[in-house]
Amino acid sequence: MKTIILSRQAAKNLDALLDHEREVVTTGLEDYARTGRGDVKALVGQDGFRLRIGVWRVIFDEDAATILAIYIGRRQTTTYHRN
């Protein structure tokens, strides 16, 4: 299993979710870290990947041992175009 590291922004995003939403996102991210399977695509025009978990998106980067979650949010136009 890869180690999951949350950026400061991702930790704030996760804390802002309702309990059941947080559980869904956390479980999806842990499943990906454990198995490497999930709805993952490379981002276009920038480094990193996105993991789709229902209506939620986790923007992340990874190497052989870690997953760095950069942003967690609903799929909206601002998910991929934030400052």
pLDDT tens by residue, 9-62? 999 999 999 999 999 999 999 999 999 999 999 999 889 999 999 999 999 999
pLDDT for residue 82:
58
Tell me the whole-structure pTM to 2 decimals. 0.86
pLDDT tens by residue, 61-82? 999 999 999 999 988 756 656 5
Domains of the chain: 3-78 (3.30.2310.20)
Dist CA 34 CA 37 (whole Å)? 8
